[in-house]
């Protein structure tokens, strides 16, 4: 039951962003994807009736849970899910919502959501209406766990962003696209080529590193040498982000899709926390990578050099550090780690062309909270942001949990603009 709620909230969260994706079709249509706990539900009949009561068309969800009904023109339609065609064990989450009134706008394809849940699950508007047997503290423990999970993913992404900012001063709005790139690579190897996800993820990390290296070698490095100003580079990064995002949309399409492996793992119960085993493994990997990067920053020569450049590039250069080489290594590692973060994000949500951009603001929140330009600040800030987002759902609706995190970002700016571990002089 708990898992159903989690799956549903994750699905809703994903849907918010999916709905935000513009539809590129010519004619008006209604469509949707039926999912029960992340698994597609097929063979369900959906019928569409126009406002004046004239039937338009029927559709049956396919093996991927998708259905689509083209409609003649923009306007209001009634969409009905035939509950008798639902497979055994699956029911509507809200019993009274088998018929939905939806508005279709000119030239757009309208997504219609029927929330499904295992039969017998209690319908509830929010996770607050959970099954009665769990206590408040169990719920907090569960949300803390999920918060750590999200926070670690944000931290992986934030590490690269923060170090790039520290060494080059670039506020890289295209960093989210590094995550999407990683997830898309893994998706390509996993689903299209058919490699197991573990190997696909490894390949995508390697390719992400090469992508980061290439970006610095052939793009940002060149711009730095030309003496492009920081604000110009920031807007260039927006251009790059737009470009990459629509390249992803072009090849991947506007819909989200899961990886081929580890899709429907039954949850395991550890103390008060229940989660799929993949989440525990993912968190282990994320922690391991963060520790390795952290130790490398503290102990190795190149890590010390990176921190020196981050502190003061001119001073670092004059004491014999090859600044350009250090920056290139940071871009390479940053790209690889961001790729990993993308794969992990794709594992816990779905792979979609907007995933990177959507999490980018949370990464910014984490980085600024921890202090721009500090590697460990980014780590602390990100985990705080992740925890805050999940725990805030105790009081705010799940759909607005991101709003809370972004508000915190603004409040940090107001009261402690240098962040938790940052220093005053950085904010200028």
Partner 1 sequence: MDWNAILITTVKASIGLETVVYALAAIGVNIQFGYAGLLNFGQAAFLGVAAYGMAVTVATFHLPFWLGIAIGLAATIVLAFLLGIPTLRLRADYLAIVTIAAAEIVRLVFRSVKFSSVFGGSDGRQNFSGDFFAMNPYAPGTYGIGPISFNERVTWILTVGWVLIAICCGLVYLLMKSPWGRVLKAIREDEDAVRSLGKNVFSYKMQALVLGGLVGCLGGFLFALGQASVQPDLFSTEFTFYAYTIVILGGAARVFSPVVGAAIFWVLLVFVGNTLSEAVSAGLLPSLFTVNNIGAVRFMLVGLGLMLLLIFRPQGIFGDKREIALDAR
Among 39, 399, 416, 420, binds partner 1 (CB under 8 A): 399
Residue of the chain from 56, 223, 260, 420 that contacts partner 1 (CB under 8 A): 223
Q: Which of 158, 122, 186 is nearest to 350 (CA)?
A: 186
Task: Indicate if the alpha-carbon torsion angle 85, 89, 90, 91 is positive or negative.
Answer: positive
Residue 204's nearest CA partner among 306, 69, 340, 298 is 340
Instruction: Name the residue nearer to partner 1 (CB basis): 67 or 145.
Output: 67
Cβ contact 305:312 at 8 Å: no
Residue 103 CB, nearest distance to partner 1 (Å)?
5
To partner 1, the closest distance from the beta carbon of 222 in angstroms equals 9
SS3 state of residue 253: coil
* 231 binds partner 1 per the rule CB under 8 A: yes
Bridge partner list, 274: 269
Which position among 191, 234, 260, 302 is part of the footprint of partner 1 (CB under 8 A)?
A: 234
Q: Which of 22, 53, 89, 271 binds partner 1 (CB under 8 A)?
A: 22
**192 contributes a contact to partner 1 by CB under 8 A:** no
The label of the residue with tokens 């190897």 reads 189
Of residues 124 and 417, the one with the C-beta less far from partner 1 = 417
Residue 119 makes contact with partner 1 by CB under 8 A: no
- How much is the CA Rg of the chain, to the nearest whole Å? 23
Tell me if 410 contacts partner 1 by CB under 8 A: yes
In order of 140, 361, 398, the CA distances from 401 in angstroms are 15, 13, 5
Binding mask 82-111 for partner 1 (x = CB under 8 A): --------------------xx-x------
Beta carbons within 8 Å of 67's beta carbon, 6+ residues apart: 31, 32, 33, 34, 44, 46, 59, 60, 61
Q: For residue 407, state whether it binds partner 1 (rule: CB under 8 A).
A: yes
Q: How many residues bind partner 1 (CB under 8 A)?
A: 54
* Residue span binding partner 1 (CB under 8 A) among the ranges 193-201, 318-326, 357-365, 383-391: 357-365
By the rule CB under 8 A, 425 interacts with partner 1: no
Structure tokens at 8: 């549903």
Give the contact letters, 304-343, x = binds to partner 1 (CB under 8 A), - = no.
----------------------------------------
Rounded to 10 deg, the angle between the 401-415 and 355-370 helix axes is 30
Show the tokens assigned to 303: 């890590």
Asked if 232 is part of the footprint of partner 1 (rule: CB under 8 A), the reply reads yes
- The neighbour count for residue 74, using CB atoms within 10 Å, is 15
Asked whether position 288 contacts partner 1 by CB under 8 A, the answer is no
Stretch that binds partner 1, among 238-246, 279-287, 298-306, 322-330 (CB under 8 A): 238-246
Say which residues have a Cβ less than 8 Å from residue 116's Cβ, sequence separation at least 6.
34, 35, 36, 41, 86, 90, 91, 92, 93
Question: Site mask, partner 1, residues 378-397, x = CB under 8 A?
Answer: -------------------x
Is 249 among the residues that bind partner 1 (CB under 8 A)? Answer: yes
Q: Which is nearer to partner 1, 282 or 365 (CB)?
A: 365
3-class DSSP assignment, residue 341: helix
- 390, with CB counted inside 10 A (0-12, 13-18, 19+), is buried
The residues of the shown chain that bind partner 1, judged by CB under 8 A, are 16, 19-20, 22, 24-26, 102-103, 105, 171, 223, 226, 228-232, 234-236, 238-247, 249-251, 253, 361, 364-365, 368, 397, 399-400, 402-403, 406-407, 409-411, 413-414, 417, 427-428
């Amino acid at each position: 039951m708990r898992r159903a709620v989690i799956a549903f909230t994750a699905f809703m969260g994903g849907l918010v962003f999916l709905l935000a994706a513009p539809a590129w079709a010519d004619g008006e249509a209604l469509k949707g994807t039926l999912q029960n706990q992340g698994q597609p539900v097929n063979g369900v009949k959906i019928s569409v009736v126009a406002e004046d009561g004239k039937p338009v068309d029927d559709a049956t969800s396919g093996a991927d849970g998708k259905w689509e009904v083209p409609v003649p023109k923009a306007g209001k339609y009634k969409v009905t899910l035939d509950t008798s065609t639902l497979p055994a064990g699956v029911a509507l989450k809200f019993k009274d919502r088998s018929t939905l009134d939806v508005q279709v706008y000119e030239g757009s394809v309208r997504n219609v959501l029927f929330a499904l849940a295992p039969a017998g699950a209690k319908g509830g508007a929010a996770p607050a209406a959970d099954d009665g047997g769990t206590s408040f503290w169990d719920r907090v423990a569960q949300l803390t766990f999920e918060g750590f999970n999200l926070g670690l993913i944000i931290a992986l992404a934030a590490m690269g962003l923060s170090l790039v900012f520290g060494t080059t001063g670039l506020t890289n709005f295209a960093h989210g696209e590094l995550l999407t790139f990683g997830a898309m690579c893994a998706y390509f190897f996993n689903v299209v080529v058919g490699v197991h996800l573990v190997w696909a993820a490894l390949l995508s990390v390697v390719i992400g590193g090469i992508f980061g290296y290439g970006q610095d070698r052939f793009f940002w490095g060149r711009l730095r040498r030309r003496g492009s100003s920081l604000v110009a580079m920031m807007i260039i990064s927006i251009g790059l982000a737009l470009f990459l995002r629509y390249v992803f949309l072009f090849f991947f399409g506007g819909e989200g899709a899961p990886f081929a492996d580890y899709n429907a793992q039954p949850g395991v119960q550890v103390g008060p926390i229940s989660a799929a085993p993949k989440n525990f493994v993912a968190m282990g990997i994320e922690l391991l990578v963060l520790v390795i990067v952290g130790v490398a920053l503290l102990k190795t020569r190149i890590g010390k050099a990176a921190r020196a450049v981050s502190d003061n590039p001119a001073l670092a250069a004059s004491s014999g550090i090859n600044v350009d080489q250090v920056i290139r290594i940071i871009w390479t590692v940053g790209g690889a780690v961001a790729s990993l973060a993308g794969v992990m994000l794709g594992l816990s949500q779905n792979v979609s062309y907007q995933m990177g951009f959507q999490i980018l603001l949370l990464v910014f929140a984490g980085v600024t909270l921890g202090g721009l330009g500090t590697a460990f600040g980014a780590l602390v800030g990100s985990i705080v942001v992740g925890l805050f987002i999940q725990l805030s759902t105790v009081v705010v609706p799940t759909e607005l949990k991101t709003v809370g995190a972004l508000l915190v970002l603004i409040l940090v700016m107001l009261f402690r603009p240098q962040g938790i571990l940052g220093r005053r002089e950085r904010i200028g």
